[in-house]
Amino acid sequence: MLDYIINKTMEYLDGMPKTKRKKIGQFFTGLETARFMASLFSLPKKEHLDILDPGTGSAILTVALMERLEQEATIKSVSLICYETEPAILDLLKENLEYIKSAVSFEFNYKMIIKNYITSQQKPLPIADLVIGNPPYRKIPRLAEEATMMEHVVYGAPNLYFLFTAKSIENLRDGGELVYIIPRSWTSGAYFKAFRTFLFKETTIEHIHLFVSRDKVFENEAVLQETMIIKLKKQANQLNEIVISSTESSSDFNNIQYIRVPKKLVVGNDDNQYVYLVTNKEEVDVLERLSVFHNTLSSLDMKMKTGLTVDFREREHLMDEPTNDNVPMFFAQHLQDGRITFPIGKHGEYLDTRKSALLQMNTNYLFVKRFTTKEESRRLQSSIYLQDDFPDHKQISTQNKLNFIARNKKELTKPMVYGLYCLFNSTLYDKYYRILNGSTQVNSTEVNTMPMPTLDGIVFLGERLLKENDLSEKYCDDVLEEYLNDEARRSERVS
C-alpha cells in the first residue's frame, strides 16, 4: 500500500513547485520513516480505533499505520480523521483514502476536514486513540490567529509545528498515543518553555528517535531541518526510563541503535525543563557525572549575560587609542588561551564614556565566546578577566559577540573566576553544552541552567588552578575529575 501512495505522491510533487510547498509547509514523510513511526505505537487491544492524522498531505503516515494495523488480528474497524487545507492535494488525498478503503481487510471509514486544524477547533475534544503526524514547520506571527488561540503554549515566536503537537495532545484520549516527526528546537530554549510545560504535564515521553547526521530527514526535499520523532502517551508518568533510538539518516532504518536512559537525566526538572538528546552511552555518562551538582548559575546568584555593545552600530564612538574619556572595550578576539590580551592593536578598542548605557563595572568576570565555528574543537571557549589587570578604569565595555558571567549583587572573587574557568574549560562541560544545544552559538539561557557545584566547590577548584597556574584543558579536566570523584564519595556516604 505504502509504495503505491508514495508513487502517487511523487507524481504530485512533479507538478508542484517547491517554493510553493515551502510557503505552505508541505513536505512529505519518506517511506522508511513513515513505517518506523507507525511501528512505535503500542497498540491497544481494541476492536475499533479512532485515528487522527492532522496535516494529512497525501496520507503517507495514515497508510503506514494501516499497514501496521493489517497485521493486528484484533482490529475490526478504523475511523480516520484527516485535516488538510491545501486545495492542490485534496483530490489526491481523497483518491488515496478510497484506495486504502479498498485495500484493507478491516472496515475503514474516514472524515476529511478541509479546515485549519488549529483555528477550526475552538474547544478541542479528546477524539483519538492514536495520532500520527508530520505537521507544517513554519514560523507565524505572534498575533496570527493560530497563536492567539493557543496562548497557553506560546511564549515568544510561535511555530505551527508545536501548535499542531499541542492541539493533537488535546485531541488524544486518556491513555492514547501520539507519534510525531518534528524539529528538535522545542527541546531547549526559552521560546518553547510554555509548550514544554504543557507537554510534560499532559503526557509522558516514551520514545525519542534521533537522526545522527542531523540534516538528512527530508533528503529528497532538501529541507535542512534538524528533526526528531517523538512518541507520547497521554497518561500520568509511570516510567522511569525513556527509550532513545537513533539511525544515521532517515533512509536507513536497518541499523537502529537503542539506549534506555533514566528519565530524570533526560527530562529536566521544574526549573529546567529541557530534553537532553543523547544518542550513546558516552553522552549519558556526561549527564550522569554532572547530575551530582544541584546548583545552577542562577541559584548561585550569578548570571551569564551577553556583551553590551554592538560594535558596528557604535563606530563613531569607538576609538583606537586610550584617552581620559574612553574605556577598554573587549571583543571576542581579546580572549586568548584562557586569558585576556589587550590591547591587540585592532581598530576601535576603546569606547567613549558618554555611551553610559553600554558601560559595565570593571570587576572580575569570566568571558565566554558567543560564536564558534563547526571546525573548532570546543563550543565553550572562555577567558579569565581580572579587574586588577586594568586598574585605571572604573568601567569597561564588552562586545555582544562575547558573553560574561558576573555575580548579581557582589563581586566575583579571583578564586571564583578561576573556579568557573575550570568548569567552562573542561571537556565535560563542553560535551554537556553540546548535548544541550546542537548549534555553534553559546546561549545564556542554556548556560544559566547548567549544573554547577556549590560556591565553596567553585572556590576550591579555582584555588587549585591558581596554585598551579595552569589553565590547560587537561589540568581543568584533572581537577574537576578529582572533585567529582570526591563529591560522588561524599554523596554515597550521605545516602
Ligand X SMILES: C[S@@+](CC[C@H](N)C(=O)[O-])C[C@H]1O[C@@H](n2cnc3c(N)ncnc32)[C@H](O)[C@@H]1O
**Chain contacts with ligand X (rule: CB under 6 A):** 24-29, 55-57, 60-61, 83-86, 89, 116-118, 134-136
Distance CA 240, CA 27 (A): 35
How near is the Cβ of 157 to ligand X at its closest, in Å?
Answer: 17
Count, residues in the chain: 495
Q: Please compute, for residue 245, the number of CA atoms within 13 A of its CA located in the half-sphere on the CB side.
A: 19
How near is the Cβ of 126 to ligand X at its closest, in Å?
Answer: 19
Choose between 140 and 402: whose C-beta lies nearer to ligand X.
140
Distance CA 467, CA 483 (A): 16
How near is the Cβ of 3 to ligand X at its closest, in Å?
Answer: 14
Distance CA 163, CA 136 (A): 10
Choose between 130 and 278: whose C-beta lies nearer to ligand X.
130
Choose between 28 and 432: whose C-beta lies nearer to ligand X.
28
Distance CA 317, CA 80 (A): 64
Choose between 134 and 273: whose C-beta lies nearer to ligand X.
134
Q: One-letter amino acid identity for 173? A: R
* φ, ψ for residue 196, nearest 5 deg: -60, -45
How near is the Cβ of 262 to ligand X at its closest, in Å?
Answer: 32
How near is the Cβ of 17 to ligand X at its closest, in Å?
Answer: 14
Which residue, chain included where needed, has cell 483530490? 91
Q: Alpha carbon of 234 to those of 166, 214, 272: distances in Å?
A: 12, 28, 22
How near is the Cβ of 51 to ligand X at its closest, in Å?
Answer: 13
How near is the Cβ of 177 to ligand X at its closest, in Å?
Answer: 17
Choose between 83 and 108: whose C-beta lies nearer to ligand X.
83
How near is the Cβ of 243 to ligand X at its closest, in Å?
Answer: 22
Q: Alpha carbon of 315 to those of 97, 292, 308, 321: distances in Å?
A: 62, 46, 14, 14
Choose between 57 and 124: whose C-beta lies nearer to ligand X.
57
Q: Are strands 227-233 and 257-262 parallel, antiparallel or unpaired?
A: unpaired
3 state SS of 481: helix
SS3 per-residue string spanning 328-339 = EEECHHHEECCE
Choose between 86 and 311: whose C-beta lies nearer to ligand X.
86
How near is the Cβ of 379 to ligand X at its closest, in Å?
Answer: 31
Across 160-292, the runs of DSSP E, i.e. the strands, are 172-183, 204-211, 227-233, 241-247, 257-262
3 state SS of 320: coil
How near is the Cβ of 194 to ligand X at its closest, in Å?
Answer: 20
Choose between 67 and 84: whose C-beta lies nearer to ligand X.
84
446 CB-near residues (< 8 Å, 6+ apart): 188, 189, 274, 433, 436, 437
How near is the Cβ of 28 to ligand X at its closest, in Å?
Answer: 3
Choose between 229 and 471: whose C-beta lies nearer to ligand X.
229
Residues 473, 427 contacting (CB under 8 angstroms): yes
How near is the Cβ of 8 to ligand X at its closest, in Å?
Answer: 12
> Which cell numbers in the block locate residue 400?
555582544
Cα 244 to chain center, whole Å?
15
Choose between 25 and 462: whose C-beta lies nearer to ligand X.
25
- DSSP string across 387-442: GGGSTT-SEEEEBTTEEEEEESSSPPPHHHHHHHHHHHTSHHHHHHHHHH--SSB-
Choose between 8 and 464: whose C-beta lies nearer to ligand X.
8
> Which cell numbers in the block locate residue 389?
589587570
> What angle separates helix 31-39 from helix 60-70, to the nearest 10 degrees?
50
Helices (H) and strands (E) in the chain, counts: 15, 20
How near is the Cβ of 56 to ligand X at its closest, in Å?
Answer: 5
Choose between 59 and 380: whose C-beta lies nearer to ligand X.
59
Which residue, chain included where needed, has cell 578529582? 482
Choose between 2 and 304: whose C-beta lies nearer to ligand X.
2
